[in-house]
Structure 1
């Protein structure tokens, strides 16, 4: 089944709130080989004006993954995980993510472009804090291959 073109414009329910933990930020920083003290040491982060450790710039992928699971679970999407390649990723920040933030994300499918028998599915996961203020938008492009893997 090809990717459903009616996905464009579809907005998914917000995720449950995700509490950004200090240890999760540290673990993520180590996983991406970021040794910047603001990601690991609360005092270093405070000296820069933050309340706690600051998440590395790619940290939103943790919450964006929850939103992409919603998309992949759609029975009419035409997207099978075995045919998906993560082709592109971008982040647009209003402010950094800091340990203690409680974030909620909401995914919308913003475009589908076909290339031969393949489809490029673009989605945006908008993440807001507990007060509803924008923190970051994570834009992802999935390349969905044609036929069986």
Structure 2
């Protein structure tokens, strides 16, 4: 395997907290084609029971970008990014992500394995709020295509 399996368990902390804003939520909702007003209209979000506009369900992929980028760039891990394709993602929420959240994230390598001539790298990003409470865990599996 080119990917170093000894890296399972290694963690990469984002260099700074991620400030969730209405603009970032709106831009993400537009990018994924989610027209729900709870993502863009504070009044609609509050009428639906949220404190402010709420992020679309897949928004936490953004939260994992800093840690995932550090992992992939780690020369000891051995990922050839030119061969990487997105394989899978999943999310486990304790509560929704809303505008005004300030979230700390840690990305952990949870699995490395070979399958069908490819390598699979699984990463998990845990986001906590300013009080240290769990908000969401985002899982991502990358496929590093074989030659």
TM category (shorter chain) comes to over 0.9
Matched residue, 2:71: 71
Report the 3-state secondary structure (helix = DSSP H, G, I; strand = E; otherwise coil) of the residue aligned with 2:140.
strand
Matched residue, 2:25: 25
> Partners in 1 of 2:139 and 2:125 — Cα distance?
6
Give the unaligned 5+ runs of structure 2: none
**Residue 31 of structure 1: CA displacement?**
1.1
Give the unaligned 5+ runs of structure 1: none
Verify: 1:39 aligned to 2:36, yes or no: no
Verify: 1:100 aligned to 2:100, yes or no: yes
Deviates more, 1:14-23 or 1:124-133: 14-23
Report the 3-state secondary structure (helix = DSSP H, G, I; strand = E; otherwise coil) of the residue aligned with 2:64.
helix
- The aligned length equals 147
**TM-score, structure 1 normalization:** 0.93
Task: Flag as ranges the 4+ runs of structure 1 deviating above 4 A.
Answer: none
Matched residue, 1:8: 8
Cα pair 1:120 1:143 within 8 Å, conserved:
yes
**Residue 15 of structure 1: CA displacement?**
3.9
Matched residue, 1:142: 142
**TM-score, structure 2 normalization:** 0.94
**Residue 116 of structure 1: CA displacement?**
4.1
Cα pair 1:15 1:106 within 8 Å, conserved:
no
Cα pair 2:52 2:99 within 8 Å, conserved:
yes
